[in-house]
């Protein structure tokens, strides 16, 4: 179970890094599509706070790692409960 939670945390890191690279390479003169912003906020919830406050990529990645690790704990606990009930 610890490895699965670590995998969730790694996924959070890769998602945050991916969005950081995408937004870093995006053309600043072209507005970002609202659909892209929706998916960025959905997969990296700290981005919602980042619209109001300056958050570095490092802290966004840390927050995303924690968020995904907590989601992994919840999913694994639910998965464990469902497997025990059978």
- 25: in domain: no
- 56: in domain: yes
Strand runs labelled E in 28-86: none
Q: What is the number of structural domains in the chain?
A: 1
- Tokens 């300056």, located at residue: 54
Identify the domain containing residue 58 by its residue range: 2-18+34-84
What's the rounded Cα separation, in Å, for the pair 10 and 14?
A: 6
What's the rounded Cα separation, in Å, for the pair 3 and 41?
A: 26
**Tens digit of each residue's pLDDT, the chain (86 residues):** 889 999 999 999 999 999 999 989 998 898 889 999 899 989 998 888 877 888 888 998 999 999 999 999 999 999 988 887 76
- 27: in domain: no
- 77: in domain: yes
Give the residue among 42, 41, 40, 46 at the shortest CA–CA distance from 58: 46
- 24: in domain: no
The Cβ-side half-sphere exposure at 22, using a 13 Å CA radius, reads: 13
- Report pLDDT for 86: 66
- Report pLDDT for 68: 95
- Report pLDDT for 69: 96
């Amino acid at each position: 179970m610890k490895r699965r939670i670590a995998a969730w945390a790694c996924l959070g890191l890769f998602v945050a890094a991916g969005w950081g690279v995408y937004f870093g390479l995006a053309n600043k003169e072209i507005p970002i599509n609202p659909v892209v912003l929706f998916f960025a906020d959905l997969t990296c919830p700290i981005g919602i706070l980042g619209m109001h406050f300056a958050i570095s990529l490092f802290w966004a990645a840390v927050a995303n790692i924690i968020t995904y690790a907590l989601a992994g704990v919840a999913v694994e606990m639910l998965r464990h409960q469902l497997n025990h009930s059978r």
